[in-house]
Structure formats: structure tokens, C-alpha cells
Amino acid sequence: MRFIIERLFQFLLPPQCHCCEKFLDEGEQGICSDCLSEIRWIEPPFCSVCGTPFISGEVRSHPCGSCLTKRKYFTMARALGAYEGSLKEAIHRWKYQGKTTLTPFFVKWMVEGLYRYWDPNLFDLLVPVPLHIQRLRERGFNQALLLVKELSHRTGIPYQKRVLQKVRPTIPQVNLSGVERAKGVRGSFHMIGKEELEGKSILLVDDVYTTGATVNECSKVLLAGGAERVDVLTLAHALKNY
């Protein structure tokens, strides 16, 4: 009965913003214009390797200090928006409250990013950053796989979900430095089924780029497994001092 009443209300009331739950105005879809206008889209100039935006005084994109001193295994990482404000809120609701209806909105932006930064014909395969089985059981889904499936559907680039496996859980990384994170993820990903990757260009997909330690470790494993090139696309990029 409660379910029927809820459905009836959903039918009668205007749809709500997936992010702040405000009722949407006519013409608004999924996310309200206030939440959308709050998103800080990442624009050049940024690091030509990891995609971290430069704070000030830079006119051209070039490799940042971190990418010059420490090797990145991926060729290019790009993200759509800064991981803050309404985008962070939307990602949290999507990931931790199971608001998977947000997936098509996120992927629409990711498709735009894919076409902006790469020639999509470059890629043979989309690969999601895997979750450890324990985390997967808690959450019920791998958010990176949700993005990959929809991205594959919209671009026609095939995806492979069983390429990488997370063999041990990572300790929560929130308060760790880049170096500590890199140490924390070392050896935590393994390949499953090597032969399929020989000579392939892979687009690795995740929801948030934080220090890059996770995607860098995954890229290293993919290259060691025979991939020719790995690039990274994430929905958001966590920024420091920006």
C-alpha cells in the first residue's frame, strides 16, 4: 500500500533534482539549474599528463611538477568537474545512497569529455577500476562499471569488466599524502586474462581522481599485461588549493 501511495505521489508531483531534491522547473532535467551552475568544470590550462588544473599564472598546458618527477604509467588523465559542491554531493548520493538514476547524466558529460580530449577511435577497450569484493558486497555495485557500461553503450567502444581484479582492500585514503597512497595501492591490483590486452589502447574509467595513485597502479598493471597505451577518464578530480 505504501509503495502504491509513494508511486502515486511520484506521478502527481513534479520530478525532483537528483542532487538537492528541489522540485524541478519546466525544462530542467535530472539536476536543477542551481546545482548545475555550481559545478566547476575543469578547463585548460592544466597538466598535460594528469589533468590537474593550474592555479594561476599559467597560459599553456604542460606537465606538472609531480608528473615530471614521478612517472605516470597512463598517457593522459582527464576529468570533467572539480570534486566539490554539488558535483561531490551528487556523486555521494549516487555511490552511497544508490541513486543510480544519475548515471546517464554523469555519462553524458563523460562522453563530451571523451570527444573533447581524444579521438574515440583510438580506444579498443573501456576498463573500469575494480572494487574489492568486500566493498562490492557492501555497496552492491561498482560505480566505475556503471559508468563504463553506459559509456560503452553511447560510444560503441567495447568494455571488459573482468580485466583487473582488486586483490586486497585499500585502507581509507582520505587523510593520506600522495606518496602514502601510492604505497597503499601498490600490488593491490592483479590482471585476469592477459592475452586479450596485447597491443590494445585502453581507456580506464573511474568516478573520482584523487591523487592518481589508484589509476596509476591500474595503468601499470595493464601495461605489464600487454596493453600498448592507457588513458584515464574520471567524472571528477579532487583539487588541492584550487
Q: Note the residues at the interface with Zn ion (CB under 5 A).
A: 17, 19-20, 32, 35, 47, 49-50, 64, 67
157/238 with CB nearer Zn ion: 238
**Residue 233: strand, helix, or coil:** strand
Instruction: Give dist(CA 173, CA 119) in Å, integer.
Output: 33
Q: State in angstroms the smallest separation of the CB of 212 from Zn ion.
A: 8
Q: State in angstroms the smallest separation of the CB of 40 from Zn ion.
A: 16
Instruction: Give dist(CA 231, CA 202) in Å, integer.
Output: 6
Instruction: Give dist(CA 25, CA 33) in Å, integer.
Output: 9
Q: State in angstroms the smallest separation of the CB of 26 from Zn ion.
A: 15
50/235 with CB nearer Zn ion: 50
49/164 with CB nearer Zn ion: 49
Backbone CA torsion sign across 119, 121, 122, 128 = positive
Q: State in angstroms the smallest separation of the CB of 111 from Zn ion.
A: 22
52/170 with CB nearer Zn ion: 52
Q: State in angstroms the smallest separation of the CB of 204 from Zn ion.
A: 16
Beta strand residue intervals within the chain, DSSP E: 77-82, 125-128, 164-166, 189-191, 201-209, 229-237
Instruction: Give dist(CA 164, CA 227) in Å, integer.
Output: 12
66/152 with CB nearer Zn ion: 66
Peptide bond into 63 cis (omega under 30): no
Whether 150 contacts 107, CB under 8 Å: yes
19/221 with CB nearer Zn ion: 19
CA-based end-to-end distance of the chain: 50
Q: State in angstroms the smallest separation of the CB of 99 from Zn ion.
A: 12
